């Protein structure tokens, strides 16, 4: 059973979904699932496979169903952390457990640093903190080239460049930059330009997420058990390398999960992961069994 609610703050209407009863049936904290720029729709498969838990998902401000009124179009981990904190306070069911993926993992690390009493255990899956990698300045250059392709040629070209960047194995070398421009048609993406330039993934609107440097001292001092997770297929590519760098920053080993960056997805987004195996692994890690 899913119930949808809206939390109206001073500058945003945050839409969130509660899958299951509150208070929870088993007395265990709710399980928050958060992403960025992915909204709640991306967690449908994982939430369905976590039916024994009360799961909470939400759309970050300015994404999906959540409307922002702050006059901004950028996405920052600090603002999103404040929103997540407000949601936890609204539910009155904290501290919570949390699974956070991609930009949501960056937000979640900011939550732990800013609000250490909010989360008991955090599984931060592939946080894209590119400046933490050994080749951080070159990774920033690769990110800028994605935005340039998007600005010059539109969404298909930008997304093709993004796929090329995120599937490159190892550090970014001259060989990476010497490649021909990625062809959107080769990825089944549109070649025509629809004129829009507001995509949160391909524009610079989410650069504050990938530029973020977590407050390692605050995170390690918090009572939260933090697990940095990486997909077994991701370890050589950018988000695998950012995960390793984040784990190193926090002085802990990486925890390996099945599949890739979207390993908890089924086929509705085009590149299915292994959601059954992923859900089992998440359950093990949350329970402290692995």
- pLDDT digit string, tens, across residues 30-46: 999 999 999 999 999 99
Tokens of 3: 């119930």
Q: Quick one: pLDDT band at residue 267, thresholds 50, 70, 90?
A: confident
Task: Round to whole Å and give the CA distance between 192 and 167.
Answer: 23
pLDDT at 290: 59
- pLDDT digit string, tens, across residues 122-146: 999 999 999 999 999 999 999 999 9
3-state helix, strand, coil in the chain (%, to 5): 40, 15, 45
Q: How far is C-alpha 259 from the chain's CA centre?
A: 16
Q: Quick one: pLDDT band at residue 259, thresholds 50, 70, 90?
A: very high
Burial per residue of 178-197, b for 16 or more beta-carbon CB atoms within 10 angstroms, e otherwise: eeeebebeeeebeeeeeeee
- pLDDT digit string, tens, across residues 191-203: 999 999 999 999 9
pLDDT at 77: 97
């Amino acid at each position: 059973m899913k119930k949808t609610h809206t939390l109206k703050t001073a500058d945003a209407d945050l839409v969130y979904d509660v899958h299951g009863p509150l208070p929870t049936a088993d007395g265990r904290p709710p399980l928050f699932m958060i992403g960025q720029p992915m909204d709640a729709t991306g967690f449908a498969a994982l939430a369905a496979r976590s039916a024994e838990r009360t799961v909470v998902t939400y759309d970050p401000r300015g994404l999906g169903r959540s409307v922002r009124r702050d006059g901004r179009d950028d996405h920052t981990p600090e603002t999103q952390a404040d929103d997540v904190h407000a949601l936890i306070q609204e539910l009155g069911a904290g501290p919570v457990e949390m699974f956070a993926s991609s930009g949501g993992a960056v937000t979640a690390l900011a939550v732990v640093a800013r609000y250490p009493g909010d989360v008991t255990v955090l599984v931060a899956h592939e946080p894209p903190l590119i400046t933490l990698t050994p080749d951080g300045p070159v990774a920033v250059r690769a990110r800028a080239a994605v935005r340039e392709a998007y600005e010059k040629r539109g969404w298909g070209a930008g997304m093709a460049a993004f796929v090329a960047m995120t599937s490159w194995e190892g550090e970014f070398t001259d060989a990476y930059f010497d490649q021909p421009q990625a062809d959107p048609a080769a990825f089944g993406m549109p070649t025509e330009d629809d004129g829009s330039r507001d995509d949160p993934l391909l524009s610079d609107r989410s650069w504050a997420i990938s530029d973020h440097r977590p407050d390692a001292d605050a995170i390690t001092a918090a009572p939260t058990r933090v697990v940095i997770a990486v997909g077994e297929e991701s370890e050589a590519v950018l988000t695998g390398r950012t995960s390793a760098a984040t784990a190193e920053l926090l002085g802990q080993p990486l925890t390996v999960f099945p599949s890739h960056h979207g390993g908890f997805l089924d086929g509705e987004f085009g590149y299915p992961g292994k959601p059954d195996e992923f859900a089992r692994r998440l359950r093990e890690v949350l329970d402290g069994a692995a």
